[in-house]
Structure 1
Amino acid sequence: MSHNPKNPSCQTCGMRHKGVFSNLDRDNLAEISSQKSCNLYRKGDVIFHEGNYPLGLFSIFSGKVKVFKTSETGKDHILRLAGAGEPLGYRSLVSGEKYEVSAAVLEDTRVCFIPKALFLNTLQGSSNLTGRVMEFLTKDLKLAESKIADLAQKTVKERVAETILMLKQFYGMESDHKTINVSLSREDLANLVGTATETLIRSLSEFKKNEIIDLKGKKIIILNAKILEKIANIFD
């Protein structure tokens, strides 16, 4: 991690509409903007570790982050991906508990940091901020419930197809409109699906054999999105 001397203004931030401060009043927003810091994390850097107490709120300015939990055997399970505008670690910050998850960057990422006391004081005095935090809590709860349901009800093949489509939506496509604009290791992809790496590789190989996708290193090329949607049972 390195300190970024160019500290973006909250008032003019193009990502603010996506975050918890989208409806914050002018005075509180100016206070947060003046006291926050913005740091550059290199690919693979950990923003915070499971088991530590939060010292403030993290908010992604640019880049991509994986939020994951580590099992007793040392295996990481990716719970979700987060992008520009999204807050990180706010649940533990609000509850005063230790982080239950860790967060690490998937590419070079700029992350803003708002000190704990400032965020909690602003939260206490702003119904707009409280409302936005509740919206994010609800969204995260729905995502967690959906993931639990998928693990219980969907086959690995269905989950792999669904994850590929999710990556397409989250990262977008390269200029050829076929290649997903992200390079994920097979291990990270398996952790995101919730399966063993070997099982994931077999599913990817089957999709490639059936000309549903193609693989180029860590890149996934979608050849037939409609078949992926059918396999994923998205519209059932």
Structure 2
Amino acid sequence: MSLSGIFPIDRWNFTTQSILSILSEEDYQHLIANQSDERYQKGDIIFREGAVPAGIFLIRNGKVKKYKVDQLGKEQIIYVANQGELIGYHAVLSEERYPDSAAAIEDSLISFIPKEDFMDVLHRSPAFTQRLLKALSHEFTVLANSISVIAQRTAPERLAIALIVLREKYKDERSGDEKIVLNVSRTDLANIAGIAQENVIRLLKEFKEEGILETDGRKIWVKDLKLLVKRANYR
């Protein structure tokens, strides 16, 4: 089932997948000419907050969480990046250290692209620069909405929105009428929604009793999207 007409997913989700599509074949080949591929297992760190960036990362396969850690060691997941998306470019563009950390939330194949090649393609392709600026502007809107959720929404509403956004992330992997299965740990789900893990477990049980979703271990699939959107209480 589509979210069209029942939930404004674009206000809660951004993607960099379309950025590379603007490149000519020549510019794309120039971008990836010196790339190196590396496989990451679930939980492996890709980069840490405060590190000096040497380039950007292109997710070939898998999913990556971008997060910050507070003084008590608690994670707040800012964003989940999907196959085909770029990460790490903020620090390269600003010529600053990484403002957050990134880790694989499932086994992933990721290409590292040196910053010199990335910046060179930016200079070669005004269309690429414009598309990147557009993505950054939309990203700011999404992050502002996310901050609003943490500050103003109840725990059930936060969890419902997190599940809606994650469902969209896993949607591309579905084929035909196959159900959309979210394979995510309760810890990561809690850190996305900004609520305690015990509350996530309790609320998932409530949602299950209400016929909204089903679970099997760490796997979750939504049975009634309209009911989940209702739980999100978006107006």
Larger relative contact order (CA 8 Å, sep ≥ 6): 2
User: Does TM-score exceed 0.5, indicating one fold?
Assistant: yes
| Mapping for residues 1-236 of structure 1, pairs under 5 Å | 18-172=17-171, 180-234=180-234, 236=235
> Is the CA contact (8 Å cut-off) linking 2:20 and 2:128 kept in structure 1?
yes
Question: Normalising to structure 1: TM-score of the pair?
Answer: 0.85
Q: Structure 1 residues 19 and 42, CA, compared in 2 at 3 Å: closer, same or farther?
A: farther
CA distance in 2, matches of 1:26, 1:212: 45
> Is the CA contact (8 Å cut-off) linking 1:19 and 1:87 kept in structure 2?
no
Deviations 1:129-163 (CA, angstroms, capped at 9, x unpaired): 21122122112211101101112222111111121
Structure 2 residue identity aligned to 1:152:
A
Instruction: Report the secondary structure of 1:118's partner residue.
Output: helix
Q: Tell me by how many angstroms 1:46 deviates.
A: 1.0
Q: Tell me by how many angstroms 1:88 deviates.
A: 0.3
CA distance in 1, matches of 2:156, 2:91: 34
Paired residues in the alignment total 219
Q: Tell me by how many angstroms 1:89 deviates.
A: 0.8
Larger-gyration structure (1/2): 1
Structure 1 residue identity aligned to 2:203:
S
Question: Normalising to structure 2: TM-score of the pair?
Answer: 0.85
CA distance in 2, matches of 1:155, 1:105: 28
Instruction: Report the secondary structure of 2:163's partner residue.
Output: helix
- Of all paired residues, the percent bearing the same amino acid is 37
Structure 1 residue identity aligned to 2:26:
D
**C-alpha RMSD of matched pairs (Å):** 2.1
Q: Could you tell me which residue of structure 1 aligns to residue 8 of structure 2?
A: none
CA distance in 1, matches of 2:177, 2:24: 40
CA distance in 2, matches of 1:229, 1:19: 27
> Is the CA contact (8 Å cut-off) linking 1:178 and 1:222 kept in structure 2?
no
Structure 1 residue identity aligned to 2:213:
I
